[in-house]
Amino acid sequence: MKKRQKDFDDYRPSGVHYKRSFGDIMISVITYIVYSIFAFVCVYPFYYIFINSISSNQLSERGKVIFVPLEVHFTNYMSVMKLEGLFDAAKISLARTAIGTIVVVFTSAFLGYMFTSKNMWGRKFWFRFIAATMYFNAGIIPLYITMTNIKLTNNFWIYILPTAISPFYMILCKTFIEATPGELREAALIDGAGTLTIFFRIMLPVIKPILATVAIFTAVSQWNSFQDTLIYITDKKLNTLQFVLYQYITQSSSIKALLNGSSSSANIAASMAKMQTATSVRMTVTIVVVTPILLVYPFFQKYFTKGIMIGAVKG
């Protein structure tokens, strides 16, 4: 509230004094209350999962952990790290996220740049042809048959190639590039720069905000995806972390018995509160899977708002 008053003081004419009315104060109070509630609703589910993952497993199973962790311990995380295939799945998820994000960002930026060039052959036709794929889909069965025929099932590249070109992100990049000064490209053309030179040396540095926006959307989508693994992959070596999470959640009761069985009798006798339950397995694995992608946001946040606003509104 003080910051808003200071901002107003910076812009008001000198010598003019402004006293905030009761209505202004009430609007500010209501705004803070509404946004605080909204922030709480967004944050609480993740907080709830976290405190249940570090609380007594027996209390968590009975629904006693609501706002404050009880009988804190970190045994769940040490036990979950012993689950078979977790680290291999993490490697696959990291690889598909990194490679998939780079590919989508590059193709979206390059196609968006090319579709702003008036010299591109069939520019309007190809743009509409790619954009049409946003609205039409053949369905899962024809797509599965196609992927099988081109030998992409049980292949790591099934995670990358089918989503290599995103019409939505391409349109965002195209709109952003159209908002940049055309004189930059014209000056480069006069100096003899070619298409690729202009793209890599001039346009890419200029459109960093929209690239960061596309990158964070793509990274989250790639990291959270598990349906493609469920449909196209039978080789356990290619399972992703989200698919492993899906399996662990649906089979949490049997995994609970496995983890408890691997513990020594001395450890079990030492603390019954640390015995694994179906709830503790679900909560802990969820935190392990979700946390890495949350670390991506701070690096892209300064570009995010500017990129999505300028890329979505022309002019």
Dist. CA 237–CA 209, nearest whole Å: 36
- List the single range of 16-20, 46-50, 54-58, 198-202 with lowest mean pLDDT: 16-20
In the prediction, which pLDDT does 156 show? 92
| Residue, of 100 and 86, whose pLDDT is higher | 100
DSSP code of residue 13: P
In this structure, what token pair is assigned to residue 13?
């004419």
Q: What domains lie within the chain, and their CATH numbers?
A: 2-73 (no CATH), 86-240 (1.10.3720.10)
DSSP string, 122-159: THHHHHHHHHHTTT----HHHHHHHHHHTT-TTSGGGG
**How sure is the predictor about 310, in pLDDT bands with cuts at 50, 70 and 90?**
low
The answer to whether the beta carbons of residues 159 and 242 sit under 8 Å apart is: no
Question: In 3D, which of 107, 103, 295, 300 has the Cα closest to residue 209?
Answer: 300
Dist. CA 178–CA 156, nearest whole Å: 35
C-alpha dist (Å) from residue 120 to 116, 126, 168 = 8, 10, 20
Q: pLDDT over 70 for what percent of the chain?
A: 80
Rounded to an integer, the average pLDDT of 158-165 is 91
Rounded to an integer, the average pLDDT of 187-202 is 83
Tokens 């408890």, located at residue: 260
In this structure, what token pair is assigned to residue 113?
């740049």
Rounded to an integer, the average pLDDT of 249-256 is 60
The answer to whether the beta carbons of residues 283 and 252 sit under 8 Å apart is: no
In the prediction, which pLDDT does 302 show? 65
pLDDT of 242 strictly over 80: yes
Q: Under DSSP, is residue 194 helix (H, G, I), strand (E, B) or coil?
A: coil
Non-local CB neighbours of 250 within 8 Å, separated by 6+ positions:
none
Question: In 3D, which of 70, 46, 4, 11 has the Cα closest to residue 294?
Answer: 46
Dist. CA 240–CA 236, nearest whole Å: 9
Dist. CA 174–CA 241, nearest whole Å: 33
> 148-157, 245-254, 259-268 — which one is most confidently predicted on average?
148-157
**How sure is the predictor about 104, in pLDDT bands with cuts at 50, 70 and 90?**
very high
Question: In 3D, which of 73, 46, 45 has the Cα closest to residue 59?
Answer: 73
The answer to whether the beta carbons of residues 184 and 206 sit under 8 Å apart is: yes
In the prediction, which pLDDT does 109 show? 92
pLDDT of 221 strictly over 80: yes
Dist. CA 159–CA 157, nearest whole Å: 5
For residue 307, the tally of other CB atoms under 10 A from its CB is: 25
Radius of gyration of the chain (CA): 26
DSSP code of residue 66: S
Non-local CB neighbours of 199 within 8 Å, separated by 6+ positions:
109, 110, 113
In this structure, what token pair is assigned to residue 215?
């990158």
In the prediction, which pLDDT does 106 show? 94
Run of H or E residues at 276: none
In the prediction, which pLDDT does 100 show? 93
23-51 confidence digits (pLDDT tens): 778 888 999 999 999 999 988 988 998 88
Angle in degrees, 0-180, between the axes of helices 208-224 and 86-114, rounded to the nearest 10: 140
In the prediction, which pLDDT does 90 show? 86
